[in-house]
Structure 1
Amino acid sequence: MSYPTASATPQRVLYDFRSDTVTRPTPAMLAAMAAAEVGDDVWGDDYTVQALEAETAELTGFEAGLFLPSGTQSNLVALMTHCQRGDEYLVGQLAHCYRWEGGGAAVLGSIQPQPLEHAADGSLPLDQLEAAIKPDDPHFARTRLLALENTIGGKVLPPAYVADALALARRHGLATHLDGARLWNAAAALGVAPAEVARGFDSVSLCLSKGLGAPVGSVLVGRKDFLSQARRWRKMLGGGMRQAGLLAEAGRHALRHHLPRIGEDHVNARLLAEGLSRFAALTVAPVQTNMLFVSVDPAIAADFAVYLRQQGVLISGVAQQRWVTHLDVDAAAIAATLRLVEAFFDPAKR
């Protein structure tokens, strides 16, 4: 069978599956932002920022929150607050705060990462964690922190594992941080409140601009004394913003209106996975949340990727693809995309 190859000029983007970070503010969100009550957050008098921080903290079971421009800065501030120069944090090889954030902990915080291999379910094996904790000896960096991520690669960490990992950390006097950029997805997949996923951690970073669809921002939650120190690091790293209530109101709107529907993204991901699995050249890994990982027959991978782009469908990768469902791709978009995929494999459908 022959497949279409690259030749035509790409059409406009119809469906963007590259990430759940690509969402656009809804008209209702924009209206809420325009009406936001603002002050100067560096001076500590932006009411809307304070409201977002308090609401996020209450939702996740913590004393307080701190609004930051990005998840990367939120994780970095957390690491720098937990650790001093020369300290070490235990982290997964594929964790965002180790692999995808420019080495900020090491470069800006002088904090040594100790990366560990993940198990198939995304966890860090407990025996490997325990073995990686350094003795109290001047030859070694001081192990101070365990950093986990949930979800990671679209997978939900098993709750029993998280409880055991937190107990291990406590036994060894380690602080704990959770990169909960997609904690909302983990909670939806488990059918529990967000506070259940966050329970037991000393700090959690929560993203507003992924599945929740806000344009900007993350909230770091924890104890009040911890966040008082974190606020100083935020200022030093350039994260102090002025009339940030305009952005914070987008986050408040997302928590009220977009968080309740996040499970729809999981349903759509399963629909997409079922549809793609019909084609022998595509192998789809089991789906837990809003991410699909698709292995494409190498003989057609390049042509398939080019074809999708030509049709206005954006994905990440070529032979190993990632598809992410989100607020801006509904069930109708899934159905339309699957028709385009079918047309690639069956010329009679074009």
Structure 2
Amino acid sequence: MNHRNATTVDLRSDTVTRPGPGMRAAMAAAEVGDDLFGEDPTVRALEERTAALFGFSAALFTPSGVMANQIALQLLVGPGEELVCDAEAHVLAHEEGSPARYGGIQTRTVAAPRGVITAELLAGVVRRGNAYTLGSRAVEVEQTHTRAGGTVQPLAALREVRELTAGLGLAVHMDGARIWNAMAASGTSAAQYGSTADSLAVCLSKGLGAPVGSVLLLSEENLARARKLRHGMGGGMRQSGILAAAGLYALTHHVERVAEDHDHARLLARGLRDSGFSVRPPETNIVLVEAPGAGEAVARAAEEGVLVTAPDPGTVRLVTHLDAGEKQCRRALEVLIAVLTETGAGASGLRARGPAAHERRDARRTRTQESEVAA
């Protein structure tokens, strides 16, 4: 069911964006071929451009970030071998158990504050292995960290992890689904981040506004096997240059503007905090609000045309993106302040119930309708 209309503000994720006229024109004009035969020139152009940007020798276009991550993990960790990652990593929490299901990979986790993996944390966890003990084979880091609220893995920490793992003979995979946000927030270049990992998956639909697709960056020597794994997972596409063209357009037009999303996230966080709510300071484009009864708040906000999510029963999540500008964020802020107050999430702990709450909601709906007419 499509919840969106012309006045809806959708802050559920930065994946909800829709291609604009320029991107659609690029897709319509794309030169294509059969990519399973390696003959789609637009796909090759996207792969070559992304590999060069991050300093890798090869790249592979995939339908999704989950597929890109799972291909990478199977390249680095064999069945019955061990991957070390954060306990709240996307590859564990949001990828349907794929490391174990499809790769036969055992995982060992660390509880990383704010999702930031450090060499110090890893030193006490990774295992060298011997004839009687399973050894670790790779470490996974996430940039930015989704469940921690879009936190950035600092370049210095990544370099220390790289130094530690190199000394132990371990590989590093980076789930860089929102690496564009990390680049904008930290000023770190793509090549600098790329130098800290053996493989790196970047998403084109999170932050950059493409309709679908990720790119797995890896070594040339692993490319043939990666292509076979993609095919076996059902990711072998044909004239996929139509999709790759959207990615190329996004790389040209949407990377630098990601910083605007961070400005809007700070606007939302500041407004909610000033109204008495507990908000985790956003580092990038994800805002986490402490909200007992979050599910009720999400449902009420949807009634007012503002779509957000509840990653757990006590948290409301907002994600800014290129389809939600300042005007839309300010409208969302007004609705969320009222809704969170009514559901008792404010610092005062007061719960507005009964006729008074409905009267306020009706008044707010009237104000919204009047502003839409005026616009």
TM (norm. structure 1) is: 0.91
Q: Distance in 1 between matches of 2:78 and 2:237?
A: 25
- Of 19, 30, 49, 2:13 maps to 19
Cα gap change, 1:223/1:11 in structure 2, threshold over 3 Å: closer, same or farther? Answer: closer
CA RMSD of aligned residues (A): 1.8
- Which structure 2 residue ranges, 5 or more long, are not aligned? 342-356, 368-375
1:331 is aligned to 2:323: no
Which residue of structure 1 aligns with residue 92 of structure 2?
A: 98
Provide closer, same or farther for how the CA distance between residues 295 and 46 of structure 1 changes in structure 2, counting only shifts above 3 A.
same
Equivalent-residue separation in structure 2 for 1:304 and 1:176 (angstroms)? 39
Give, as a single letter, the amino acid of the residue that structure 1 aligns with 2:111.
Answer: E
Q: Report the count of equivalent residues.
A: 337
SS at match of 2:35: coil
Give the alignment of 1:245-260 within 5 angstroms.
Answer: 245-260=241-256
Structure 2 CA distance for aligned equivalents of residues 229 and 146 of structure 1? 20
**AA aligned opposite 2:43:** V
Partner of 2:38, secondary structure, is coil
Distance in 2, Cα, partners of 1:67 & 1:287: 30
In the alignment, is the contact (CA less than 8 A) between 2:117 and 2:157 conserved in 1?
A: no
Task: Name the CA distance, whole Å, in 1 between partners of 2:173 and 2:4.
Answer: 43
Structure 2 Cα separation of the partners of residues 261 and 315 of structure 1 = 22
Partner AA of 2:195 in structure 1: R
Answering whether residue 171 of structure 2 is matched by residue 175 of structure 1, we say yes
- 312 and 175 in structure 1: CA distance in 2 versus 1, 3 angstrom threshold: same
| Structure with more relative contact order (C-alpha pairs < 8 Å, separation 6 or more) | 1
Q: Secondary structure at the match of 1:209?
A: coil
Q: Is 1:227 equivalent to 2:223 in the alignment?
A: yes
User: Identity of aligned pairs, percent?
Assistant: 42
Runs of 4+ in 1 over 3 A off after TM superposition: 10-13, 301-304, 341-350
* Per-residue deviation, 1:303: 4.9
Shift of 1:342: 4.8
Aligned amino acid, residue 330 of structure 1 = G
Report if the CA contact (8 A) 1:112-1:141 is conserved.
no
Does the CA contact (< 8 Å) of 1:11 and 1:310 recur in 2? no
- Alpha-carbon contact 1:86-1:142 (below 8 Å) kept: no
| Contact 1:72–1:101 (Cα < 8 Å) also in 2 | yes
Matched with 2:336 is 341
Change (3 A) 1:302 1:55: closer
| 8 Å contact kept, 2:117–2:153 | no
Aligned positions of 1:199-348 closer than 5 A:
199-280=195-276, 282-298=277-293, 301=294, 303-317=296-310, 319-344=314-339, 347=360
Aligned residue number for residue 25 of structure 2: 31
- The question of whether the paired residues in 2 share the 8 Å contact of 1:11 and 1:311 is answered with no
After TM superposition, the structure 1 = structure 2 runs for residues 87-236 of structure 1, keeping only pairs within 5 Å, are 87-119=81-113, 121-153=114-146, 154-236=150-232
Distance 1:194 1:263 in 2: 15
Amino acid at match of 1:279: S
C-alpha separation between the residues in 1 aligned to 2:128 and 2:138?
14
Pick from 45, 49, 52 the counterpart of residue 51 of structure 1.
45
SS at match of 2:19: coil
Say which SS state the counterpart of residue 245 (structure 2) adopts: helix
8 Å contact kept, 2:180–2:258: yes
CA distance in 2, matches of 1:236, 1:139: 33
Q: Name the CA distance, whole Å, in 2 between partners of 1:283 and 1:84.
A: 43
Structure 1 stretch displaced more, 266-275 or 195-204:
195-204
From 31, 35, 42, the equivalent of 2:36 is: 42
Note closer, same or farther for the CA distance 1:50–1:11 as it changes in structure 2 (3 Å cut).
Answer: closer
* 1:343 Cα deviation from its structure 2 partner: 4.9
Instruction: Quote how far apart the aligned CAs of 1:78 are.
Output: 0.3
Report the CA distance between 1:142 and its aligned residue: 3.0
Deviation at 1:127, TM superposition (A): 3.5
Structure-2-length-normalised TM-score: 0.85
| Structure 1 residue runs without a partner (length 5+) | 1-9
Give the 3-state SS of the residue equivalent to 2:152 in structure 1.
coil
Tell whether the 8 Å contact from 2:272 to 2:333 is kept in structure 1 after alignment.
yes
Matched with 1:4 is none
Q: Classify the secondary structure of the residue corresponding to 1:277.
A: helix
Instruction: Output one character per residue of 1:288-335: Cα deviation in whole Å (capped at 9) or x when no partner.
Output: 00000001255xx55533321111101111631110000110111112
